[in-house]
């Protein structure tokens, strides 16, 4: 990008609460074991708890409802993969049937609302399911978008399905056109990471279209229907995913080809920057959170015995992993889920694939102005945002959400309103 680079910017969205306020707040409700709302857990396991809060977050945009979600939570044993799949599927099916009945009766708005939540719950049922051979994996994914398409049709929400050509297959995508855009408008391309689906990330595309941006959500390899229906796994060289997307984007009617932004969330905080190293048609880049080395972020969370076993080679590592899978439902789920989504032949090969996801020595080649969003309670990619920020030489800003913002969790989980406002206040005037 032309012109001198502005000074580095590290910002906090709000000032931290004073110690006196924090202590007073913590003493009022003993059901919260810690100082902030984030200390309350619905499930003992950190991953499942985060995924459940992700479902709750969608209430802000009408895509889930509190009582429905809590009723599901009450029926799920901690870290039970089968319970999670069964109970969200049950709720999704019930709502889809209600939507069908409402549509037949001419109650269009009721039908649209129930289809919207049914789509959310069908997608949500698969977030913690790592059995690709289970027919529900494919069936629920297709059901999610059967309901989503009906929601778009009945509600009039400005979304249309696209298929992005990709190698010998395609990437499922949705284009959300802004009803307030005049003439050619900027386009924000975005995708999720390991677990979530882009249609769940309504705080991105809903804010976009209300502010005059078009938005293109893509289910990329390893994600959504791309892995569950089309069988496409993740790859470390993400430029080979994003370039075909941009090739389609520049041909879309009403898109200003000089104002294309790219955003990746969670694992996408590595994937989007990786693509921006090579794809120079990207004007603005957003990583939420930033990830310099995915392998390093994973290794930090591994039990010490796994780290030691990896150094001893494939046979020792795979054997040790098998033993630990018998002892931990979380380790068992994560390894099965990751081996499948990354197309790895073994746990040892999986770690090697993680290690290939490294921007060290590459991030400095990014030219797009970059925003990194991070939270003070980021546990899944801790310290990675700062490391990526330090490697960048382009115009850049690190936006930290602290506890007073209530958006301090991974990807601002639980604070979609605040996240959307902060993101697009930053994008306005840049894209």
Q: Give the model's pLDDT for residue 297.
A: 92
Contact by Cβ (8 Å): 273, 370? yes
pLDDT at 300: 86
CA distance 189 to 233: 20
CA dist 333 → 48, 130, 255, 328, 336 (Å) = 11, 6, 41, 9, 5
The pLDDT assigned to 305 comes to: 86
**How far apart, in Å, are the Cα atoms of 383 and each of 148, 275, 291, 397, 400?**
36, 21, 9, 15, 12
Q: How far is CA 282 from the centre of its chain?
A: 20
Residues of the chain by 3-state class (helix, strand, coil), percent to 5: 50, 15, 35
3-state SS class at 12? strand
How much is the pTM?
A: 0.93
> Tokens 């945002």 appear where?
385
Residue 28's pLDDT is what? 82
Measured distance CA(235)–CA(253) in Å, rounded:
30
pLDDT string in tens for the chain (431-residue length): 333 334 456 665 543 333 333 444 555 888 899 999 999 999 998 999 999 999 999 999 999 999 999 999 999 998 899 999 999 999 999 999 999 999 999 999 999 999 999 999 999 999 999 999 999 999 999 999 999 999 999 999 999 999 999 999 999 999 999 999 999 999 999 999 999 999 999 999 999 999 999 999 999 999 999 999 999 999 999 999 999 999 999 999 999 999 999 999 999 999 999 999 999 999 999 999 999 999 999 988 888 888 889 999 999 999 999 999 888 888 899 999 999 999 999 999 999 999 999 999 999 999 999 999 999 999 888 899 999 999 999 999 999 999 999 999 999 999 999 999 999 999 999 99
**Quick one: how far is CA 168 from the chain centroid?**
25
Q: Which residue has the tokens 């894209």?
A: 431
Note the pLDDT of residue 209. Answer: 98
Quickly tell me which residue has 């040790």 as its tokens.
320
Q: What is the pLDDT at residue 21?
A: 39
CB 173 within 8 A of CB 164: yes
Interval 191-216: pLDDT, tens: 999 999 999 999 999 999 999 999 99
Please give the helix or strand (H or E) that residue 136 lies within, else none.
helix 135-155
- Structure confidence at residue 299 (pLDDT): 87
Q: How far is CA 60 from the centre of its chain?
A: 17
Give the C-alpha separation, 122 to 84, whole Å. Answer: 11
In whole angstroms, how large is the CA radius of gyration of the chain? 21
What tokens were used for 179? 């009803």
Residues contacting residue 268 through CB under 8 Å, at least 6 positions apart: 190, 191, 192, 193, 287, 288
Task: Please give the order of strands across the beta sheet that includes 284-288.
Answer: 9-12, 396-401, 369-375, 284-288, 255-265, 185-191, 214-218, 169-176, 159-166
Instruction: Give the chain's domains with CATH numbers.
Output: 8-16+165-293+357-431 (3.40.50.1820), 63-157 (1.20.1440.110), 299-352 (no CATH)
* Helix locations, 174-291, DSSP H: 202-210, 224-228, 239-249, 268-278
Beta-strand pair 214-218/169-176: antiparallel
Supply the pLDDT for residue 403. Answer: 95
H helix or E strand, kind and range, residue 161: strand 159-166
């Amino acid at each position: 990008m032309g012109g001198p680079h502005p000074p580095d910017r590290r910002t906090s969205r709000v000032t931290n609460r004073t110690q006196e306020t924090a202590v007073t707040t913590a003493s009022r409700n003993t059901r919260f074991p810690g100082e902030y709302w984030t200390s309350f857990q619905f499930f003992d396991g950190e991953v499942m708890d985060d995924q459940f809060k992700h479902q709750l977050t969608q209430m802000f945009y009408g895509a889930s409802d509190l009582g429905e979600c809590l009723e599901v939570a009450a029926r799920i044993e901690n870290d039970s993969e089968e319970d999670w799949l069964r109970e969200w599927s049950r709720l999704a099916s019930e709502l889809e049937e209600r939507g069908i009945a409402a549509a037949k009766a001419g109650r269009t708005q009721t039908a649209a609302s129930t289809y919207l939540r049914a789509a959310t719950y069908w997608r949500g049922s698969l977030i913690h399911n790592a059995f690709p051979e289970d027919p529900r994996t494919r069936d629920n994914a297709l059901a999610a978008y059967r309901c989503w398409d009906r929601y778009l049709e009945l509600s009039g929400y400005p979304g249309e399905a696209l298929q992005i050509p990709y190698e010998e297959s395609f990437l499922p995508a949705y284009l959300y056109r802004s009803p307030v855009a005049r003439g050619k408008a900027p386009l924000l391309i975005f995708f999720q990471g390991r677990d979530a689906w882009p249609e769940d990330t309504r705080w991105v595309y809903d804010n976009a279209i209300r502010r005059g941006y078009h938005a293109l959500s893509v289910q990329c390899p390893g994600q959504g229907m791309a892995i569950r229906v089309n069988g496409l796994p993740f790859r470390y060289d993400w430029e080979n995913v994003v370039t075909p997307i941009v090739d389609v984007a520049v041909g879309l009617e009403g898109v200003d080809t000089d104002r294309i932004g790219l955003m990746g969330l969670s694992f996408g905080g590595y994937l989007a920057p990786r693509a921006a190293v090579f794809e120079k048609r990207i004007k603005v880049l957003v990583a939420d959170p930033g990830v310099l080395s995915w392998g390093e972020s994973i290794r930090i969370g591994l039990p010490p015995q796994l780290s030691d076993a990896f150094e001893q080679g494939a046979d020792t590592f795979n054997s040790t992993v098998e033993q630990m899978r018998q002892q931990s439902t979380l380790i068992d789920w994560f390894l099965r889920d990751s081996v499948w989504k990354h197309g790895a032949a073994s746990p040892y090969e999986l770690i090697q694939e993680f290690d290939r996801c490294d921007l060290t020595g590459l991030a400095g080649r990014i030219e797009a102005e970059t925003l990194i969003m991070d939270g003070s309670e980021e546990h899944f990619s801790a310290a990675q945002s700062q490391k990526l920020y330090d490697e960048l030489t382009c115009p850049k800003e690190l936006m930290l959400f602290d506890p007073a913002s209530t958006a301090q969790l991974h990807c601002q989980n639980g604070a979609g309103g605040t996240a959307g406002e902060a993101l697009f206040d930053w994008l306005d005037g840049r894209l």
